Structure 1
Amino acid sequence: MTTIDLRTEIKEFLSSRRARIAPEHAGLPAYGGNRRVEGLRREEVALLAGVSVDYYVRMERGSLAGASDGVLDAVAAALHLDEAEREHLFQLARRSRGPGGPRRRRPAVPVRPALQQVLDAITDAPAWICNGRYDVLAVNQQARALYAPMLAGPRRPANTARFVYLDPEAAEKFFVDYDRIVGDVAAKLRMEAGRNPHDEELIALVGELSTRSALFRKRWASQDVRLHRSGHKRLHHPVVGRLDLDVESMELPADPGLLLTVYTAPAGTAAADGLALLASWAASQGQDASV
């Protein structure tokens, strides 16, 4: 992959969202039993959104430059877009309105020393900082121990997407919900592609994963998008065993594009005991927090 074509992204995203909605789920009568298209027709989306058929067809062909926020909202409602999908649509529209611009190299760079100090001050929970490409840029000691299987490789920066798709045997052992993880990773990368379609490092990563992983190609083609938000992650650590953790991901306003992620467990649970054991193990190994 040498580029992420914006018009193609728009076309495939809108058509894929349209294909998943049956007419009856949109409150429309399904005339006849032999529909030639999966999901809604373009004219049905236009009707639901309150725009002309010609206008919606132009949108789905990749032309969002002239679409107002009101029209985008109407299309999002017609297609039953969730929060992440709606944000992705608006990001694609914003990129359409601005200059295309050349590909930009946005290499992973070390985080500010003050941010590493923040990580090091979090002593009771694994915490790390990554970017939208899943590059792991900084960790505290517990995160270094928690993600030891992923950080064991020599390549730096370590990258969660590469681990998940290019080392599937190890990733399946580590992530209890591996099938969900592979979908989430591809969806969040596609969300990042909508924000930064000219990011040279992101283009290279997507190209590498597409070339080397049939599973990634399948997940990428789904056009799904996800936000980095709070959630739960179930891991099987090779030293301390099963860990069911709560995850909080927060954007860093002073460092656009960076995310702070912290893993915790309720007091008194087996996972909390596991994190305490993990901290003891990391200290006994003399592990530092470098990545």
Structure 2
Amino acid sequence: MDNRNEAREFLMSRRAKLAPDQAGVAVSGHRRVKGLRRSEVAALADVSIEYYSKIERGNLAGVSDSVLDSVARALQLDHAEREHLFDLARIANGAAQPVRKRKAKAWAARESLTRSLDAITNGPAFVRNGRMDILAANALARAFYGQVFDGPGRGNLARFNFLDQRSREFYPGWEAAADVSVAILRTEAGRDPHDKELHDLVGELSTRSDAFRSRWGAHNVRRHGSGTKNFHHPDVGDLTLTYEGMELTAEPGLSFLIYTAEPGSPSEDRLKLLASLAATARQQAAAALPAIEASQEPS
């Protein structure tokens, strides 16, 4: 992705979102500019209008951390937005140049990581990357996200969100879920602009989904740490789950997420039912396997 264009559009979008009264800027008369003017951001950041204009044109190479901090404060960037700005500056300064290397092997979960996932039995637990591919999951997560794997999503949460109509039932608050999905991808694009698979995913979704394309243009970013989400699972119904997301120290760029239900709640009962249904389905599949293998043997 074009780092300079990304920085320019990101900063312009943040400036447009910040109303003068939010920034403590006195205004009078008619304003043609949505949000703050460049001169007002420059004054708030204590830099010249010429220098801020250069920054907003996407020229982040050589901009000091102290100036980036000042711009972040002036634009009232949240933690994720500030990190995104610093990621863009890091890349502009040559910290993410592509390196010629052999084609990487397909990622596979370490046995210890798989055991850790399987040890969690009371809630869906899974590992995903910044492109929102589910890379590894415990049994309950595979049952919970069954639709993500068996349709257009092909194991990718963003693709499921925008290309599978079932997602609009799975996420009762679909609009908010869609916003978060795109914001996570935007954050990843700032962190690793040379990720070809991410380029391909964004291109696919932009071509096939108007809802994705409009959100991608908003330049919102997000870190996925913790919170509460509502779901409607096709087998067990409504679920309200809290989640915790942790970065894997041994696997940079990957996140370990766990969903849990409040003890004694209807959601906990429904998660237990889902776990029981999934266990029964696995047992039935295991029982049927010998008969299938026998039927395939040559006579």
Task: Please classify the TM superposition score into its range, dividing by the shorter chain length.
Answer: over 0.9
Q: Please list every run of 5 or more consecutive structure 2 residues that lacks an aligned counterpart in the other structure.
A: 286-299
Q: 2:116 aligns with which of 112, 115, 118?
A: 118
Indicate the residue corresponding to 1:164 in structure 2: 161
TM-score normalised by structure 1 residue count: 0.93
**1:41-76 deviations in Å (ceiling 9; x for gaps):** 111100000001110000000111111111111101
SS at match of 1:224: coil
Indicate the residue corresponding to 1:129 in structure 2: 127
- Identity, % of aligned positions: 54
Structure 1 residue 106, shift from structure 2 partner: 6.8
Report whether the alignment pairs 1:36 with 2:29. Answer: no
Provide closer, same or farther for how the CA distance between residues 54 and 194 of structure 1 changes in structure 2, counting only shifts above 3 A.
same
> Does the CA-based 8 Å contact 2:68-2:86 persist in structure 1?
yes
Indicate the residue corresponding to 2:148 in structure 1: 150
Distance 1:91 1:155 in 2: 28
Distance 1:93 1:239 in 2: 46
TM-score normalised by structure 2 residue count: 0.90
Distance 1:102 1:281 in 2: 46
Distance 1:92 1:64 in 2: 8
Higher RCO (C-alpha 8 Å, min separation 6): 1
Distance 1:286 1:251 in 2: 30
Which amino acid in 2 is paired with 1:128? Answer: F
Indicate the residue corresponding to 1:182 in structure 2: 178
RMSD: 1.8
Indicate the residue corresponding to 1:18 in structure 2: 15
> Does the CA-based 8 Å contact 1:175-1:234 persist in structure 2?
yes
The list of structure 1 runs, each at least 4 consecutive aligned residues, that deviate by more than 2 angstroms after superposition, is 99-108, 153-156
Distance 1:275 1:215 in 2: 31
> Does the CA-based 8 Å contact 1:108-1:135 persist in structure 2?
no
Tell which structure's C-alpha radius of gyration is larger: 2
Indicate the residue corresponding to 1:77 in structure 2: 73
SS at match of 1:286: helix
Report whether the alignment pairs 1:195 with 2:191. Answer: yes
Q: Please list every run of 5 or more consecutive structure 1 residues that lacks an aligned counterpart in the other structure.
A: none
Provide closer, same or farther for how the CA distance between residues 262 and 100 of structure 1 changes in structure 2, counting only shifts above 3 A.
closer
Structure 1 residue 31, shift from structure 2 partner: 2.9
Provide closer, same or farther for how the CA distance between residues 147 and 76 of structure 1 changes in structure 2, counting only shifts above 3 A.
same
SS at match of 1:51: coil
Q: 1:204 aligns with which of 181, 200, 205?
A: 200
Indicate the residue corresponding to 1:274 in structure 2: 270
Report whether the alignment pairs 1:138 with 2:136. Answer: yes
